[in-house]
Amino acid sequence: MKLRWLFSAALTGAVCLGLAWSVEPPTVISTADGGQTLSLTVYNVGRALVRDSRPVVLPSGVVKLEYRDIAAKVMPQTVAFMADDTMVLEQNYEYDLLSPKTLLAKFLGREVTLVREEPRLDGPGTVRQEILATLLSMENGTVWRVGDRIVANPAYRELVFDSVPPYLREKPTLVWLLQSQKAGPRTVQATYLTEGITWRADYVLSLDQQGEKGALTGWVTLSNNSGASYPEARLQLVAGEVHVVREERPREAVMAEKMMAKAPGMAEEALGEYHLYTLERPTTILDRQDKQVSLLQASGVKAVKHFVVAGFPYYFWSRQDLHREPVRVKLEMANTAANGLGLPLPAGTVRVYQRDSRGAEQFMGEDRIEHTPKDETVKLEIGTAFDVVAERVQTDFRSFDKVTESAFEVRLRNHKDEPITVEVEENIGGDWEILTHSHPYQKRSAFVVAFSVPVPAHGQSTLAYRVRVRH
């Protein structure tokens, strides 16, 4: 009933003002050059919420407001309009853009000037010739009426039009038909979602020569392909997988505690089930631009290195030949304040560098992390070890009535100058039981068992165990 009342009230207001719908109302044009104030909230899902406020001067009565310089990839069904002393009667999104093809299409049945260059008869060069013709068709070429003749696909150098047809726009434009209760200046705001804007987090972990401690720097890379620029905009980023964009509700913002890792000018707070990062200074984001903004800077971050050998379930189903296993190098960092971090880390790619004996940084590898809350552990796999060798040999195998029994040796050789510990993770399917083992193990899940095997510098160790599996 409320919507019906608003609709009738709008019509009644227009009639009371003595305005006939056949009379074109006055038009006010608003562009980005007229004192625009912008704020931009960018989500992980390739969308951004744009809040575009502009000062306008509206007359009293029914008026058409053309809101130009909006994002070309605006989602028109998400547009909301706000202004004091103003009622929206109609809202239109006009995206029939000006181009040679669309301009020609608007002139179907109308006269256009064809310009040709003809050779001069009295000497070298050409002479310009203008021919007035009526466009009849654009199906598989063009058909024209020239005088009393019909011409298909005539040769011409250019076309001359006497005007630009209405509703043909240089850029997408929002057009509102408004009822202004009084004349004068006011601020209007258009809020809408647009596609074509994405952001991602990129991190650089710079480790010392020992690879045990370093600095973590985080960057936000913002890519704008929305078809609009955002000068001096207030930028906010939402980390988290947003499936439904809910209407903002008044709430008391709960600020996360101030962490030593936070970059200057970037504030972080909880936003429902997500995290909101706010750049505390305006920034200009141009169309077709990648912009990087500092997210965090942390020093004294400890990284723990792990050497991991991972087995596969099929090892326990049949006979296996001796073969080498890759020794994967993994890093773990505690995302805690005590470790120089303690800030929710958006998903992104971490690139790891380590200083060599001359102090120069060398690239060690990269891995992607998911959204990581504070007080959780960041886990990275950066490559395989060169100086650590793992060989697997099956020393016994028996199979009977859906039960297999296998004995394995995993021979580890360490060619490094320092002792290490290798974690041998075995992925065993079915109902398994470790019968004998040379090193302690930990059951990490229903199908994963992990052995910790110390290996001396320039030495070797052998893990031996027997397992029974009921399939």
Question: Which tokens go with 221?
Answer: 């890379």
Three-state DSSP string of the chain: CHHHHHHHHHHHHHHHCCCCCCCCCCEEEECCCCCCEEEEEEECCCEEEEEEEEEEEECCEEEEEEECCCCCCECHHHCEEEECCEEEEEEEEECCECCHHHHHHHCCCCEEEEEEEEECCCCCCEEEEEEEEEEEECCCCCEEEECCEEEECCCCCEEECCCCCCCCECCCEEEEEEEECCCEEEEEEEEEEEECEEEEEEEEEEECCCCCEEEEEEEEEEEECCCCCEEEEEEEEEECCCCCCCCCCCCCCCECCCCCCECCCEEEEEECCEEEEEECCCEEECCCEEEEEEEEEEEEEECEEEEEEECCHHHHCCCCCCEEECCEEEEEEECCHHHCCCCCECCEEEEEEEECCCCCEEEEEEEEECCECCCCEEEEEEEECCCEEEEEEEEEEEEECCEEEEEEEEEEEECCCCCEEEEEEEECCCEEEEEEECCCEEECCCCEEEEEEEECCCEEEEEEEEEEEEC
| Predicted TM-score of the model (pTM) | 0.71
User: Beta partners for 307?
Assistant: 329, 422
The pLDDT, as a whole number, for residue 265 is 58
The pLDDT, as a whole number, for residue 259 is 36
The pLDDT, as a whole number, for residue 379 is 96
The pLDDT, as a whole number, for residue 169 is 77
Report the CATH fold assignment for 304-335+377-470.
Immunoglobulin-like (2.60.40)
The pLDDT, as a whole number, for residue 217 is 95
Which bin fits 12, alpha (ψ -120 to 50), beta or left (φ > 0)?
A: alpha
The pLDDT, as a whole number, for residue 243 is 57
Low-confidence ranges of the chain (pLDDT < 50): 1-21, 244-261
The pLDDT, as a whole number, for residue 35 is 82
Question: Which tokens go with 349?
Answer: 């790619």
Question: Which tokens go with 163?
Answer: 């005007």
Residue type at 384?
T
Dist CA 128 CA 49 (whole Å)? 52
The pLDDT, as a whole number, for residue 301 is 97
Dist CA 190 CA 67 (whole Å)? 9
Stretch(es) of the chain classified as CATH 2.60.40 = 304-335+377-470
